[in-house]
Structure 1
């Protein structure tokens, strides 16, 4: 399992943008497609909202990749 720490420098980041900014995909549009496919969970719950607000302290998982969102 690959674990990544994403340093959040604002109140929140949209889920599709988080996937892009953490290097999981090349664009926000690709991030939206990944979320829409049902492959992403937030804090252990399936998340289908492409622009769901992700805050510091949350964990996002896609297949075997875990992204921990931490405050700067």
Structure 2
């Protein structure tokens, strides 16, 4: 699924919440620390990683792609 963002980039933790891949912001720390999140096919443990349109985030069999606003 494509998830539009307003700015040029978004932090991974914020995107996980925006895309409804996690229930609340504190879950971002847990799932990234556990190595459960991948960005563009590679495990990502930094919840502050900057994502840009085109990046694909996966968690627990669900995927979401960062999309530009328009």
* TM more than 0.5: yes
Task: Specify the alignment match of 2:51 in structure 1.
Answer: 54
Runs of 4+ that moved beyond 6 A = none
TM-score, with structure 1 as normaliser = 0.87
Q: How far has the Cα of 1:26 moved from its partner?
A: 2.2
- Across the aligned residues of Structure 1 and Structure 2, the Cα RMSD in angstroms comes to 1.0
- 2: CA distance, partners of 1:19 / 1:58: 12
TM-score, with structure 2 as normaliser = 0.89
- 1: CA distance, partners of 2:19 / 2:52: 14
- 2: CA distance, partners of 1:36 / 1:50: 8
| Match of residue 9, structure 2, among 3, 8, 12 | 12
Structure 1: state its 5+ residue gaps: none
Structure 2: state its 5+ residue gaps: none
Q: How far has the Cα of 1:28 moved from its partner?
A: 1.6
* Number of residue-to-residue matches in the alignment: 69
